[in-house]
């Protein structure tokens, strides 16, 4: 905003606050939550030019009686990957807004692994025009490790091009913990380049002196805690802990229950989802769900709302966001009920989201276009006939899935145990195939705990390098799944006896659909339902869980196109 425009805005806000001019909107007779004092205040909230100008007794050009309802700040989702919703940013923003989230802090490392710095710049262009407060942390690890092939590689110099762009808050999750604590020169160059901004962390299971060293390097946050004990150690080290509850990683209950039982200070906690399916978002919301679940566990409601709003704003240095207070953005949620988080109305910069219409992408995105898709993103070398043959061994390293988590276990199984598991359905083959540059690089192994009675499941959503990942009980259907993903240029597929029984094309980089939520969600629900009907374990997400088996920065055993990797103990 130019200096002259800012001066004029401030004058208008001051005049409206003093009622020298009528505010644009007044919410009358509400129960106002002050995140600063922990009070519920009865009164009016006056809004002008997209900002809150007063709390008390006001008249307005438009007045809305909200007697008996609660007025709280718009929610903040402190860490997420929009691409994991599998729709474009503008469609995702609409779903967040409907559920009361008015600010999102995103890390576009998924599309960056496919399309590089150009894909990030394209997302940024849309972020600046989005109705939601759309902030970006620049991806620090593209690729996440040197043990895989991604579509792009970004070094510190690449990232510096966008460091000071509008809507960029800092450096995204630093997943290369060994590089950080081992003083890798290139890793430290990235960290040092962003030392004046927020730097997100990613340190699953790290403790003691290794954790201390990681924090000393300049890391500010972490969203990988799965237990209260892990969270409290990170808080004591100085990290802000982002409490995660997504579609596959459900860590909130363990952490918040510990917070309640130990009366832990919540100032340095914020809520996030990391990865959540669009269908789950529409059904439950994101941060709205986290607030409600925390209150049900026993966290006082005021603290839950503070975690969801002002805490996140303070952690990320967001000024004038996260409170119903004078001079703050008029990002407001009106609730029928405080403890059930029953959303009645959502206001973004003083405009009721309902009044923005149901149109996508026009109203919710102010006319911005869909992001430009990377060129054809599924480029695979011809698969040899023996692609999925695993040489016989006395003992195998087997990926063991953990229910409701993205953690895995490194299982050691004999040949006889693996054969028995293949027979009873507890063990299946899994493979990762490089899909960006047709290198022919691929690896195949065994996995336990996925289920799947017969056939194959495949996807190009495979964190974070997003190569093809396929799981099945027979080589023929696994071959067919790979070819089908090539045909549809990425997405989800399910194959049985050589026939396609479920497809979900993700034409934008093999990660996102160009469809609206109303078009996309039924298709997503249908393919997930089909996967469960084919025997996938009901306690895991058929596709999200599968996608994380390829991420070699989370314990314990992972598979990339370069092979199996033990990523340390949990």
CA distance 509 to 118: 13
Full residue range of the structural domain in which residue 503 is found: 395-566
Whether 293 and 435 share a structural domain: no
CA distance 209 to 215: 10
Please say if the pLDDT value at position 373 is more than 70: no
What pLDDT digit, counting tens, does each position of 183-199 carry? 999 999 999 999 999 99
- How many other β-carbons are positioned within 10 Å of the β-carbon of residue 51? 24
What pLDDT digit, counting tens, does each position of 267-292 carry? 999 999 998 989 899 999 999 999 99
Query: Poorest-confidence range of 153-157, 390-394, 402-406?
Result: 402-406
Please say if the pLDDT value at position 159 is more than 80: yes
* Closest by Cα among 57, 465, 101, 524 to 271: 101
Please report whether residue 465 resides in a domain: yes
Whether 286 and 411 share a structural domain: no
Domain boundary among 315, 337, 356: 315
Whether 112 and 244 share a structural domain: yes
Please list the residues that pair with 395 across neighbouring strands: 414
Q: Given pLDDT bands bounded at 50, 70 and 90, which one contains residue 367?
A: very low
What pLDDT digit, counting tens, does each position of 504-517 carry? 999 999 999 999 99
Residue 368 has what pLDDT? 38
Residue 406 has what pLDDT? 84
One-character DSSP codes across 71-85: EEEPEEEEEE-GGGG
Whether 561 and 466 share a structural domain: yes
Whether 292 and 178 share a structural domain: yes
CATH number, position 311 = 3.20.20.140
Whether 309 and 399 share a structural domain: no
Phi/psi of residue 528, nearest 5 degrees: -65, -45
* Closest by Cα among 136, 140, 89 to 373: 89
CA distance 67 to 88: 37
- How many other β-carbons are positioned within 10 Å of the β-carbon of residue 43? 17
Average pLDDT over residues 470-499: 98
Q: Given pLDDT bands bounded at 50, 70 and 90, which one contains residue 356?
A: low
Residue 354 has what pLDDT? 87
Whether 248 and 124 share a structural domain: yes
> Within 13 A of 92's CA, how many CA atoms are on the CB side?
30
Residue 145 has what pLDDT? 86
Question: In the chain, how many domains are there?
Answer: 2
Domain boundary among 270, 291, 315: 315
Average pLDDT over residues 4-29: 94
Please report whether residue 10 resides in a domain: no
Whether 97 and 228 share a structural domain: yes
Strand (E) or helix (H) holding 338: none
CA distance 562 to 24: 59
Please say if the pLDDT value at position 358 is more than 50: no
Please say if the pLDDT value at position 370 is more than 90: no
Residue 430 has what pLDDT? 98
Please report whether residue 453 resides in a domain: yes
Please report whether residue 347 resides in a domain: no
Percent of the chain with pLDDT over 70: 96
Q: Is there a contact between 259 and 528 (Cβ–Cβ < 8 Å)?
A: no
Q: Given pLDDT bands bounded at 50, 70 and 90, which one contains residue 301?
A: very high
Domain boundary among 289, 315, 341: 315
Whether 208 and 310 share a structural domain: yes
Q: Is there a contact between 448 and 427 (Cβ–Cβ < 8 Å)?
A: yes
CA distance 124 to 135: 9
Please report whether residue 360 resides in a domain: no
Please list the residues that pair with 105 across neighbouring strands: 135
How many helices (H) and strands (E) would you count in the chain? 18, 26
Please report whether residue 485 resides in a domain: yes
CA distance 417 to 158: 48
Please report whether residue 9 resides in a domain: no
Q: Is there a contact between 76 and 288 (Cβ–Cβ < 8 Å)?
A: no
CA distance 90 to 113: 20
User: How many whole angstroms from its chain centre is CA 393?
Assistant: 39
Please report whether residue 380 resides in a domain: no
């Amino acid at each position: 905003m130019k200096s002259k425009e800012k001066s004029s805005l401030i004058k208008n806000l001051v005049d409206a606050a003093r009622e020298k001019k009528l505010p644009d909107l007044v919410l009358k007779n509400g129960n106002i939550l002050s995140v600063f004092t922990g009070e519920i205040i009865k009164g009016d909230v006056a809004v002008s030019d997209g900002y809150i100008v007063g709390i008390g007794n006001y008249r307005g050009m438009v007045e809305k009686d909200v007697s008996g309802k609660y007025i709280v700040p718009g929610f903040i989702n402190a860490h997420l990957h929009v691409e994991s919703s599998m729709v474009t940013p503008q469609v995702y923003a609409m779903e967040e807004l409907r559920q009361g989230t008015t600010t999102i802090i995103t890390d576009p490392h998924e599309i960056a692994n496919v399309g590089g710095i150009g894909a990030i710049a394209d997302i940024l262009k849309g972020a600046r025009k989005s109705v939601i407060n759309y902030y970006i942390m620049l991806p620090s690890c593209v690729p996440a490790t040197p043990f895989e092939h991604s579509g792009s590689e970004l070094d510190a110099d690449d990232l510096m091009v966008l460091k000071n762009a509008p809507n960029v808050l800092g450096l995204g999750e630093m997943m290369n913990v060994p590089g950080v604590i081992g003083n890798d020169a290139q890793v430290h160059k990235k960290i040092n380049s962003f030392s004046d901004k927020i730097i997100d962390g990613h340190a699953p299971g790290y403790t003691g002196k290794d954790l201390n060293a990681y924090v000393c390097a300049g890391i500010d946050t972490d969203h990988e805690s799965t237990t209260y004990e892990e969270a409290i150690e990170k808080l004591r080290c100085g990290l802000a802990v982002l409490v995660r509850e997504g579609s596959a990683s459900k860590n909130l209950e363990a952490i918040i229950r510990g917070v309640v039982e130990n009366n832990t200070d919540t100032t340095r906690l914020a809520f996030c989802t990391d990865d959540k399916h669009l269908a789950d978002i529409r059904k439950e919301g994101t941060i709205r769900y986290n607030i409600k679940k925390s209150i049900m566990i026993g966290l006082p409601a005021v603290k839950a709302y503070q975690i969801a709003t002002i805490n996140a704003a303070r952690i990320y240095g967001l000024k004038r966001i996260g409170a119903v207070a004078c001079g703050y953005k008029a990002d407001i949620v009106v609730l029928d009920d405080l403890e059930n988080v029953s959303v009645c109305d959502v206001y973004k910069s003083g405009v009721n989201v309902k009044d923005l219409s149901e149109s996508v992408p026009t109203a919710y995105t102010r006319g911005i276009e869909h992001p430009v898709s990377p060129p054809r993103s599924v480029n695979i070398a011809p698969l040899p006939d023996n692609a999925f043959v695993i040489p016989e061994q006395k003992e195998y390293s087997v990926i063991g899935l953990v229910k409701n988590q993205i953690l895995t276990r490194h299982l050691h199984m004999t040949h006889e145990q693996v054969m028995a598991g293949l027979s009873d359905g507890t063990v299946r083959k899994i493979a990762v195939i490089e899909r960006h540059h047709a290198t022919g690089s691929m690896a195949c192994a065994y996995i336990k705990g996925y289920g799947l009675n017969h056939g194959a499941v495949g996807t190009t959503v495979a964190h974070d390098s997003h190569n093809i990942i396929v799981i099945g009980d027979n080589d023929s259907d696994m071959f067919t799944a790979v070819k089908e993903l090539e045909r549809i240029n990425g997405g989800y597929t399910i194959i049985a006896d050589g026939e396609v029984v479920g497809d979900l094309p993700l034409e934008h980089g093999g990660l996102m659909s160009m469809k609206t939520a109303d078009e996309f969600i039924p298709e997503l629900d249908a393919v997930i339902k089909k996967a469960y009907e084919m025997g996938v374990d009901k306690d895991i997400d058929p596709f999200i869980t599968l996608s994380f088996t390829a991420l070699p920065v989370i314990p314990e055993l992972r598979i990339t196109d370069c092979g199996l990797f033990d990523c340390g103990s949990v």
